[in-house]
Structure 1
Amino acid sequence: MKGTYLKFYLHENRQHHHVLAYEWLLEQARALGIQGGSVFKSIAGYGRHGVLHEDHFFELGNDLPVEVVFVLSPEQSGQLLNLVREAGLPLLYVTMPVEYGILP
């Protein structure tokens, strides 16, 4: 099947209405009927502000970058992006065309 790879970049402790933003994204996707999504935590990274965030063994309050990833239809991608826009949640995102399927 042809679809869209949609990835959001954000910090792990970013919140939206007192909910972690990555959890909010996953819940919105599930409510739209999107069949799956994943969150991946980085060990280091920096964003447009140039601040380097790194994982250290003794740090308790991490603010590391995370990626929230979906493989979905172009229509679902548009719906999810519109929800994020309407929520006023400014997030960096990337879309790419993909081919996907399920092997028997």
Structure 2
Amino acid sequence: MSNETSFGTHPANGVFLRFYTHVHAKHDGLLISEWLLGLAKRHQLGGGSVFRATAGFGRHGVVHHEAFFELADDLPQKIEFLLSEQHAQTLLQLVRDAGVNLVYAWSPVHFGILGKDRHA
């Protein structure tokens, strides 16, 4: 895979890196989603987004769903990044070094920008 992540005139090969957690999970007093986005931004690793699920269950088998009042407060979410392979490795190592317990998924991806404003 190329380490090229330029969104200039050429698309890039890289990594689609996703982390899975719960909405209210924290590390160092910050929500995991805020902490991960801030970590990537501080290290200039690329862009990220956070998505909240309406339902889900993880490795512990507990189902969280908006309709279940008692569990609706801790819904699953994913935090995802489009990165070069080198930047994805860096972000994973930073998370390991911080001792944060997170599930992640890594997929090769080809990405770019379409449209007339791609240089903006």
TM-score normalised over the length of structure 2? 0.81
The higher relative CO (CA closer than 8 Å, separation ≥ 6) is in 1
Write out per-residue CA displacement over residues 9-43 of structure 1, whole angstroms, 9 at most, x where no aligned residue: 00010000111011100000101213311000000
Q: How far does residue 57 in structure 1 lie from its aligned partner after superposition? A: 8.5
Write out per-residue CA displacement over residues 36-63 of structure 1, whole angstroms, 9 at most, x where no aligned residue: 1100000000010100001139669610
**Residues 93-102 or 27-36, more deviating:** 27-36
The code of the aligned residue for 1:78 comes to: Q
Write out per-residue CA displacement over residues 64-102 of structure 1, whole angstroms, 9 at most, x where no aligned residue: 000000001001000100000000001000000000011
Between structure 1 and structure 2, the one with the greater Rg is 2
Q: Which residue of 2 aligns with 1:53?
A: 64
Q: Contact 2:64–2:75 (CA<8 Å) still a contact in 1?
A: yes
The yes-or-no answer on 1:84 pairing with 2:95 is yes
Unaligned runs of at least 5 residues, structure 2: 1-11
61 and 52 in structure 1: CA distance in 2 versus 1, 3 angstrom threshold:
closer
**How many angstroms apart in 1 are the aligned matches of 2:77 and 2:39?**
17
The count of residues paired between Structure 1 and Structure 2 equals 104
Q: How well do the aligned residues superpose, as a CA RMSD in angstroms?
A: 1.7
**How many angstroms apart in 2 are the aligned matches of 1:91 and 1:40?**
15
The yes-or-no answer on 1:64 pairing with 2:75 is yes
Structure 1 residue runs of 4 or more that deviate by more than 4 Å after TM superposition: 57-61
Unaligned runs of at least 5 residues, structure 1: none
Q: Contact 1:32–1:76 (CA<8 Å) still a contact in 2?
A: no
Equivalent runs, 1:1-104 vs 2, <5 Å: 1-56=12-67, 62-103=73-114, 104=116
